[in-house]
Amino acid sequence: MKNIKISSKNVNVHYGAKQALHSVSLNINENEVTSLIGPSGCGKSTFLRCINRMNDLIDICKVDGSITVDNEEIISDEVDVVSLRSKIGMVFQKPNPFPKSIFDNVAYGPTIHGIAESKTDLEEIVHSSLKRAGLLKEVKDRLHEPGTSLSGGQQQRLCIARAIAVNPDIILMDEPCSALDPIATAIIEELIDELKANYTIVIVTHSMQQAARVSQRTGFFHLGELIETGDTQKIFTNPDNEKTQGYITGRFG
Amino acid sequence: MEQDTHIVKSYDEEMKEINNSILDIGSLVENQLKEALGALKNQDTELADKVIQADNLIDEKFRQLDQKLVLILGKRQPMATDLRTIFSAIKMNKDLERLGDHSTNIAKRTAMIELVLPEKPVRDILRMGEHVRVMIAKVIQSFVNFSAEEAKIVWEMDEEIDDEYLGILRQLLTYMMEDPKRISACTNLLYMVKDLERAGDYVQNIAEDIYYAVSGEPLYNDGPDREWEAIKPLKKKK
């Protein structure tokens, strides 16, 4: 039995008058990859952004219900959001390295969070993060070149290195491969597979095949509702719900 | 919500083509057995030769469908019900081709035999063969109706085929022991009855594939090996 890392209960999200999520309850296991799938606008990214309180950045957005991380409530005004986000890294659809060197991109988080105690310490964190993101070999001789000089796939791995440099427990990925070619995608997928030993990963993807390949659990969202959740193997071979079946077989969307 | 058709129309057409190919091969295979049994009944070597030739067409259709299935897997990367249907179709195609081979084997033996065959076992083999033919027709019908219930009924019918097989097996052994001159004719009949027993197993496999395609649940035969149970007493004691 896997440990539950993240647990949401009856989460509702409103953007002004429009309700984007309807009573979403979902458990996410520790050291597993959970995929969130569904048509555009179904609420999967909105749900992902609830986990690190990114929705706080949108004025008209209101979140209610409960989400716990390690049994601690995060939907509360008392939560220190900066500290929460240091536990939860995020990787976006388009690689978004800072306009800084490769080294500084990765060093930025540990520096502002005061994680590194010395320069050597910081170098060690940057090296180990790049290594864990599978990028060190390719960039070790050019750490002071701009992050933006890397290829798209390398930039995305740089963003993953930047996310793990602050030593999070959870990594949220919002369509991390949608801007990448098949080879760069395969490298990221291989990386996700390796990272799950140390992190809990939640990935939003539009690729059914990617969800089937990388995740152990899958949740299907439709019109703001979590329609079905279960073992990935079951969802893609024999889903219980007709809507899930219709969506993953390309019968509606 | 429209659930019956894919957004991409050509995907539906490809799935339909696969279904039609299975039906086409299924009806050829059923006819192959029917004619092989007809040839045996009348010891009609001309008809037996025709059956032997007809196997080439089944093989050709098998290869064509095999190609279509590989292509649709690569092109569509099917999921859920489509994945199960295509996965099952791959197995059904192979099993139908093997079914055709078993009918062809019966025809080959018929074409070879120039002996007087003992009447009773031949009659029993023809009856058993007709039961297998009905199973093929029904299993194909269960595929047309995409019915797990109908597939399960056919799946259970194999038990009767196994019973008939063991009965004829014992009968032929008795014939051979009573009169060694019958050994040659009875050996040919033994092969035929074994072909029919295997044919029944293939139909049972196809029923399992259809059951899985429709329901998503496996249907396993985990009962005892009845043939082994029946012949075990004949094993020499050390």
Is B4's CB within 8 Å of A251's CB?
Answer: yes
What integer pLDDT is reported at residue B204 of this predicted model?
Answer: 96
User: Which residue among B76, B80, B217 sits closest to A239, beta carbon to beta carbon?
Assistant: B80
The whole-angstrom separation of Cα A179 and Cα A185 is 9
* A35 neighbors A218 (Cβ within 8 angstroms): yes
Mutate which: A218, A234, A237, vs B, most B CBs within 10 A? A237
The CATH number of the structural domain formed by A4-248 is: 3.40.50.300
Asked if the C-beta of A238 comes within 8 angstroms of chain B's C-beta atoms, the answer is yes
Give the helix, strand, coil percentages of chain B, each rounded to 5: 85, 0, 15
Question: Would you write out chain B's pLDDT as a tens digit for each of its 238 residues?
Answer: 345 899 999 999 999 999 999 999 999 999 999 999 999 999 999 999 999 999 999 999 999 999 999 999 999 999 999 999 999 999 999 999 999 999 999 999 999 877 778 899 999 999 999 999 999 999 999 999 999 999 999 999 999 999 999 999 999 999 999 999 999 999 999 999 999 999 999 999 999 999 999 999 999 877 667 777 766 766 666 6
Within 8 A of B80 by CB-CB distance, chain A residues are: 236-239, 244-245, 248-249
Where residue A223 falls (left for φ over 0; alpha for ψ -120 to 50; beta otherwise) is left
At A192, the amino acid letter reads I
User: Which residue among A237, A250, A252 sits closest to B11, beta carbon to beta carbon?
Assistant: A250
Mutate which: A206, A225, A248, A249, vs B, most B CBs within 10 A? A249
pLDDT digits (tens, 9 = 90+) for A24-51: 999 999 999 999 999 999 999 999 999 9
Tokens of B85: 């249907």
Shortest Cα distance, chain B CAs vs residue A208, angstroms: 8
Q: Number of H helices and number of E strands within chain A?
A: 10, 10
- Residue A196 sits at φ, ψ, to 5 deg, of -65, -15
The whole-angstrom separation of Cα A27 and Cα A6 is 6
In order of their start, the domains of chain B are 9-232 (1.20.58.220)
A24 contacts: CB under 8 Å, gap ≥ 6? A8, A10, A11, A12, A43, A47, A65, A221, A225, A226
Tokens of A196: 């799950």
- Closest residue of chain A to B215, computed from CA coordinates: A238
Cα distances (Å, whole numbers) of residue A27 to A24, A197, A203, B168: 10, 18, 14, 60
pLDDT digits (tens, 9 = 90+) for B147-179: 999 999 999 999 999 999 999 999 999 999 999
Is A245's CB within 8 Å of B81's CB?
Answer: yes
The whole-angstrom separation of Cα A6 and Cα A53 is 13
The whole-angstrom separation of Cα B128 and Cα B37 is 10
Tokens of A90: 């995020």
Which residues of chain A are modeled with pLDDT < 50?
Answer: none
The whole-angstrom separation of Cα A151 and Cα B96 is 51
Say if the ipTM goes beyond 0.85.
no
To which residue do tokens 């509606």 refer? Answer: A252
Asked if the C-beta of B84 comes within 8 angstroms of chain A's C-beta atoms, the answer is yes
Q: pTM score, two decimals?
A: 0.87
The whole-angstrom separation of Cα B216 and Cα B223 is 21
- Closest residue of chain B to A248, computed from CA coordinates: B79
